[in-house]
């Protein structure tokens, strides 16, 4: 069975052919046309530019995805497309393209939720997780914890009440001079900050809170874990406190070491996530944890959640770095399971900016 997947919810146009042999899923091609160089000039995604760039790229990447997989449209069992959530003008491009392709070639069409697709990236690994499991999807627009009962039944059990974790890295990264998208640069800068603060080149996490750099009251930042029984976050509180801290120090003429600041900010963000995932794992004993989305590429988050899941005696599934960001293979992978469940997109399929 071959699934052709399309993705255009934000600033990556992607198409991929994924095959399924009744057991394992294999990506035969995964072509991603990234627009980050264009949006970097503006410090973030400009929706109008994103939509136009998707239109320019989508035909070419479709040809490339089919050619690289060595298949033609007549071999495709189903077409899968991200229909929500995302930027509406961006989503519309792949939705309309996939619909036209499916109608013209009489191929079944399935719609895919972008966050489900991120989680499905882990199915494309040799050691694929099997539901039920807990999933944490951390991207530029979402910070969500799901209980995944089976491949197409998801219950949202925690999420951010305001900003997403990826956005929190991007916005503050910009303030300390890291170009958009700031996640990977933030990760590296924070590493040098942790090394500087602890004098250790590895395993610095547990040592860090005991360092003068961490204990400096001037550098205090709040946790994004909301202090109640929920599994929810607030990243706007952390973000605002960081903006105020940087401005206050600037006004006082106090130098802020960007690496030490990045380490402090990362520590709070990651510990906040770990606090709520610790609670989630305690409430769902024996469930493994799957992490997904662009922020799942963060090396500090990966290390912290490795330790957390070990402490709970469960497994952590982490997609390869190449599948953490937006791509077409993850859409095709989730699309396969939606197809197998009998779901079909009707003629009136539309893009939706919101989650449902």
CB of 220 vs Zn ion, minimal distance in Å = 32
Which among 18-26, 138-146, 314-322, 338-346 is the span making contact with Zn ion, rule CB under 5 A?
A: 138-146
Angle 297-299-300 (CA atoms, 0-180°, nearest 5)? 125
| Least CB distance to Zn ion at residue 114 (A) | 6
Q: Is 88 helix (H, G, I), strand (E, B) or coil?
A: helix
Residue 141 touches which of ligand KG4, Zn ion, none (Cβ within 5-8 Å per kind): ligand KG4
**Binding to ligand KG4, residues 275-304 (CB under 6 A):** 293-295, 297-298
User: Among the candidate windows 66-74, 133-141, 150-158, 344-352, which touches Zn ion by CB under 5 A?
Assistant: 133-141
Q: From Zn ion, ligand KG4, none, which one binds at residue 295 (CB under 5 to 8 Å depending on kind)?
A: ligand KG4
> Which partner, ligand KG4, Zn ion, none, binds residue 131 by CB below 5 to 8 Å per kind?
none
Determine if 113 is a binding residue for Zn ion (CB under 5 A). Answer: no
Do residues 19 and 338 touch, judged by C-beta distance below 8 A?
A: no
Stretch 300-339: interaction string toward Zn ion, x if CB under 5 A: --------------------------x-------------
Q: How far apart are CA 216 and CA 121, in angstroms?
A: 40
- Packing angle, helices 183-198 and 299-312, rounded to 10: 70
Residues 172-201 that bind ligand KG4 (CB under 6 A): 181-184, 186-187
Rounded (10°) angle between helices 165-175 and 235-252: 10
| Ranges within 226-285 binding Zn ion (CB under 5 A) | none
Sort strands 25-34 and 133-138 into parallel, antiparallel or unpaired: unpaired
49, 39 contact by CB (below 8 A): yes
Beta strands 289-292 and 133-138: pairing type?
parallel
Q: In the bound complex, what is the minimum distance in angstroms from residue 293's beta carbon to Zn ion?
A: 6
Q: Residue-wise over 84-102: b if at least 16 C-beta within 10 A, else e? A: bbbbbbbbbbbbbbbbebb
Q: Binders of ligand KG4 among 11-50, rule CB under 6 A?
A: none
> Considering the complex, what minimum distance in angstroms separates the CB of residue 276 from ligand KG4?
17
Identify the CA nearest to 192 among candidates 266, 133, 122, 93: 266
Q: In the complex, which residues of this chain contact ligand KG4 (CB under 6 A)?
A: 10, 118, 139-141, 166, 169-170, 181-184, 186-187, 293-295, 297-298, 325-326
Q: In the complex, which residues of this chain contact Zn ion (CB under 5 A)?
A: 139, 326
């Amino acid at each position: 069975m071959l699934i052709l997947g399309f993705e255009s919810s934000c600033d990556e146009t992607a198409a991929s052919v994924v095959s399924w042999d009744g057991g394992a899923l294999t990506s035969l091609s995964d072509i991603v046309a990234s627009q980050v160089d264009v949006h970097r000039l503006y410090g973030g995604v400009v929706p109008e530019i994103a939509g136009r760039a998707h239109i320019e790229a989508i035909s070419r990447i479709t040809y490339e995805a089919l050619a690289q997989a060595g298949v033609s449209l007549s071999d495709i069992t189903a077409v899968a497309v991200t229909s929500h959530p995302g930027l509406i003008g961006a989503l519309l491009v792949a939705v309309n393209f996939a619909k036209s392709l499916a109608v013209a070639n009489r191929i079944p069409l399935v719609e895919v939720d972008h966050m489900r697709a991120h989680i499905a990236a882990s199915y494309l690994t040799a050691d694929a997780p099997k539901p039920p499991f807990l999933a944490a999807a951390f991207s530029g627009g979402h910070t969500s914890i799901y209980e995944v009962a089976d491949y197409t039944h998801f219950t949202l059990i925690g999420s951010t009440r305001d900003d997403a974790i990826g956005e929190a890295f991007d916005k503050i990264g910009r303030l300390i001079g890291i170009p958009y998208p700031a996640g990977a640069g933030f990760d590296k800068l924070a590493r040098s900050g942790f090394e500087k603060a602890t004098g250790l080149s590895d395993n610095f996490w547990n040592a860090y809170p005991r360092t003068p750099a961490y204990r400096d009251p001037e550098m205090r930042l709040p946790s994004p874990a909301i202090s109640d029984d929920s599994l929810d976050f607030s990243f706007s509180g952390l973000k605002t406190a960081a903006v105020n801290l940087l401005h206050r120090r600037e006004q006082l003429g106090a130098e802020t070491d960007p690496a030490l600041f990045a380490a402090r900010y990362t520590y709070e963000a990651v510990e906040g996530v770990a606090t709520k995932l610790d609670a989630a794992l305690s409430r769902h004993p024996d469930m493994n944890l799957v992490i997904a989305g662009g922020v799942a590429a963060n090396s500090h988050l990966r290390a912290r959640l490795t330790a957390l899941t070990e402490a709970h005696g469960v497994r952590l599934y982490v997609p390869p770095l190449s599948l953490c960001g937006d791509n077409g293979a993850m859409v095709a992978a989730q699309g396969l399971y939606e197809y197998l469940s009998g779901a079909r997109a009707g003629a009136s399929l539309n893009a939706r900016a919101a989650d449902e």
